[in-house]
Amino acid sequence: MDRGEAASEPLDLGVVGPAEPGDQTLTPDRTARRRPPAWLVLTAVFLLGAIVGGVVVQARGDAADYAEARVVGGPVVPLLTQPGARLTGMVELNLLNAGEHRIEILHIEADGITPTAGNAPDPVTVEPGDWGRFVQDGFAADCDGPPPGGLRALVRTADGAERLVDVATPPGSGAADLWVWACRAALDHGDLG
């Protein structure tokens, strides 16, 4: 090809204007220009995950707070109510709600001390930081076994669940002292052989 022929042919730059329906040429994708950058989407996903995670952790913490119950007891006051074949008594106890939410005290118990049938105590509702007077009538000590280790209270917590919690009592006024008192009274009344 010589230089004269090349100059006489026009240079083909393609068609300017809208593509025809049968044309397979590539056209710029207008939605690609409107899509946010990948780093922005990734940042939004991480931020949303952090917010949802924080809400879940807070909800779990709140649920744990509502389920917690801490009870401190005052002196246990035992009273003899019925000497006879099996000595029974009544327990009066002031209990402090040391937790952060209202609790309802349903009954108290200890190993070696059992409530007698038909004597369900009245539940006592105690606000946080307040004392409640709890009376449980009708218990009997098992004087043949060892003395109990500690006093427990069955409480209904703010989340509606019932839990058995240990009750801290002053020295000389716990479940073992209640058991000793009941067994000594039974021995004095001839209920023990």
- Whether 30 is in a domain gets the answer no
Least confident segment among 8-12, 25-29, 142-146: 25-29
Distance from chain centroid for Cα 164: 14
- Tell me: pLDDT of 127 over 60: yes
Q: DSSP letters along 141-189, please?
A: E-TTSPPPS-EEEEEE-TTS-EEEEEEE--TT-SHHHHHHHHHHHHHHT
Q: What is the pLDDT of residue 29?
A: 55
Instruction: Say what percent of the chain tops pLDDT 70.
Output: 64
- Whether 33 is in a domain gets the answer no
Highest mean pLDDT among 3-12, 72-81, 145-154, 174-183: 145-154
Q: Are 141 and 107 in contact (CB under 8 A)?
A: no
- Whether 50 is in a domain gets the answer no
Reduce the DSSP state of residue 95 to 3 states and report it: strand
- Whether 55 is in a domain gets the answer no
Residues 140-167: what's their mean pLDDT?
81
- Whether 81 is in a domain gets the answer yes
Least confident segment among 1-15, 104-118, 134-148: 1-15
Instruction: Say what percent of the chain tops pLDDT 90.
Output: 0
Contacts for 67 with CB less than 8 Å, ≥ 6 apart:
157, 158, 159, 161, 163
Which CATH number belongs to the domain containing residue 153 in this structure? 2.60.40
Range of the domain at 117: 71-188
Domain count, the chain: 1
Residue 151 tokens read as: 């006093």
Q: What is the pLDDT of residue 174?
A: 67
- Tell me: pLDDT of 8 over 80: no
Q: What is the pLDDT of residue 128?
A: 87
- Whether 25 is in a domain gets the answer no
What confidence tens digit (pLDDT) does each residue in 157-183 have? 877 888 888 888 777 666 677 777 777
What confidence tens digit (pLDDT) does each residue in 18-76 have? 666 655 555 555 555 677 788 888 888 888 888 888 887 777 766 555 556 667 776 66
Residues 70-91: what's their mean pLDDT?
65
β-pairing, 71-82 with 162-168?
Answer: parallel
- Whether 32 is in a domain gets the answer no
- Tell me: pLDDT of 193 over 50: no
State the Cα–Cα distance between residues 105 and 123, nearest whole angstrom.
5
pTM: 0.55
Residues 121-145: what's their mean pLDDT?
83
- Whether 54 is in a domain gets the answer no
Residue 91 tokens read as: 């327990």
